[in-house]
Structures are given as C-alpha cells and as structure tokens.
Amino acid sequence: MAQAWKCTGLRWSAEGPVLTWDRGRRSPLSWGKRVAFGVAEGGVRECAGARGHACPVRAGVSARSTGGRCEECARLDRAHSVAADGIADDPRPYRVYLAWFGPGLVKVGITAVGRGSARLLEQGAVCFSWLGTGPLMAARRSEELLRAALRVPDRIPYGEKRAVRAALPAGAEERAAEIGELHARAVELTGWPESLARAPFQAVDHVRVFGLDTAPAARGEVTGLVAGGVVSGELVAAAGPDLHLATGAGAVVVLDTRLMGGWGLVSVGEGGEVTVPVREFKAEAHRQDGLF
C-alpha cells in the first residue's frame, strides 16, 4: 500500500508557493511543475486540530470545508487569533492595508509588520497599498474606521476572489486605480488614532508573482476531494491558497489547497486526470456598492 501523507497547507516564501506536509516535508512549486495526487481509497477526512494540536476525537469534517476543522477546534483556533482580538496586548507593530482582488473587490485589513507582505500573498491580493503603521489596537481601530467610512469589508470569500481572476485588467495602473481612489479618501478622514503613522500610496502588484500574467484564464474550481479521487495538472499560476492547474483536457482548474487538509493523500502515476468534483465559473458582475 502506498504511503499516505497529510497536507498542512500552502505557504508563500520569497521563492514562491510551497506545499507543506506533516512530518516537516515541503514541496516547493514552480510554473510548469506537475501537481498530482490521489485520495486514499476508503479514506475519510479528519479534523486538522487547533494551534498545532491534533483533534482529540479525530472528528470527521465535510469535504467542502475550507477550514478543515470540527466546530470545537475551529472555535479554539479562532479564539487565539488577531482577527478575534484574542491577543490585545500583542506588543508587535501592525500595518493597515487596502487590498484589491479584482474589479469591485477591495478589502481593508491588518498584518504584523514582521510578516512583510506575506499576509497579502496568502490572501491572494492582486495588488495592495499600506495605509499606516502602529500598535495593534490602533491598527484595529483604523481598520474599523475605514471599513465604515469607505464602505469596504474586512473579509471577502475566496470563491469571489478566484471567480474574478479571469477578468483582470491588463495594466498595473488600472489594477491599482480602485485602491488609489480609496487611499486618497482615507487620508482625508478624521478620527485616525494618533499612534498610527500613515503611509503614502504605493501600489504593490502581484500579477507576475502569482503567474497570472501568462496563465490561461481558469474555467472552474474543485469543490471538494473524494476517497479514491485524483487531481493532476500542470501548475500555471497560484494565488493565496489556490493552485491553477492546466489539466489533460486543456482547461485550467483552480484547486483551493485548504480542501486537501485532513485527507490521506498518495502519489499517482503519469497521465492522471481530475476525477474529483469540479464546478464551472459563471460570468457574474462583482459590485461592492450596495452589498456592504
């Protein structure tokens, strides 16, 4: 029987995306590399646990869950996160940013200064600009101010992000236009915390980093893995947790690597095809006004 491995996620390094596995194994990825694996026959998907600890009851989770955790482990994991304000006394400095994912999709967020732009790569931000730097709670108050005043959210579902990547403007200036306008409006607002040092507008574009400048547009997305199923394709782009794979049929399919967690995965031979459920993208307008 082939050895089964468990994926612990997609990480972004200075060299690009890296798949990580249990027992410390790492798989650096590059454009043109074949990504192929099968789900063990008869396997079930188990909870990924929380904060580096295994789920005490090894609970089963849905194949469609991107969190990959049972309800209790998900609660424990979020309780200690910055997003839940569970570490308000964190002494590290934080940055506030505006991130753009495609036409009509902009969000505001915060990240620790020490992480650089890693958080933006992990979220799949096509371009972004810093807004300011300061203590955690000042950054959090600024985030709330901007969310309310500019009518932009602090979260955008990954499904919406990947659906608009097929229609990105070709020019970097056009891609930065929305966050440029919002940045200009933001600096005119009153009520910024005094301890937050504001930053000038400077757009950082990730289209080339993600490989989206040369990759064909994706046609659909994997909705979940199944026991005995296979995923196989040539890596043409990656953004956030998503791998864009050119399949043997010629179409590009997006795999959210968070769907891999909890499954026992095995190697497959050459020429494998995608035999897991795939949903085609539908042409939709993504307009934020009126939604938030």
Local confidence pLDDT in tens for the 292 residues of the chain:
568 899 999 999 888 999 999 888 999 999 999 999 999 998 899 998 988 788 999 999 999 999 999 999 999 887 766 554 556 667 899 999 999 999 999 999 999 999 999 999 999 999 999 999 999 999 999 999 999 999 999 999 988 998 888 889 999 999 999 999 999 999 999 999 999 999 999 999 999 999 999 999 998 999 999 999 999 999 999 999 999 999 987 799 999 999 999 999 999 877 678 999 999 987 654 444 432 2
CA distances from 147 to 38, 85, 106, 155, 187 (A): 42, 17, 10, 10, 13
Q: What is the DSSP string of 95-156?
A: EEEEEEEETTEEEEEEEEGGGTTHHHHHHT-SEEEEEEEEEHHHHHHHHHHHHHHHT--S--
